[in-house]
Amino acid sequence: MVKRHFLLFIILCLAALLVGCATYTERARPIIAAWSSGDLNKATQEVLKRAYRGVGSKDELVWLLEAGAALRAQGDFTNSQRYFD
């Protein structure tokens, strides 16, 4: 439970920092909705899709960090670390 709240806090902070970037904000809406409803699996799947699609884009780093945080919240520390590296 604490992990979910912490991860939601991270996502919301990143979203707040990137308010001027409509593309990130728009793409993060389904992820934030999934987190808010407690659907950790759906949120992680959405983040991973964005991370793969974002390779080479200006938002690549943000999506990689989001993916690492989502996997860590699920307890998948090995794969999480890959996204943080």
Residue 18, pLDDT score:
59
What residue spans define the domains of the chain?
2-84
Residue 16, pLDDT score:
64
Q: What is the pTM of this model?
A: 0.67
Closest CA to 51 of 59, 43, 39: 59
| 7 pLDDT tier (thresholds 50, 70, 90) | confident
Alpha helix positions (H), 1-85 = 2-17, 22-36, 40-53, 60-73, 77-84
Q: For the residues 32-51, what does the mean pLDDT come to?
A: 90
Residue 45, pLDDT score:
92
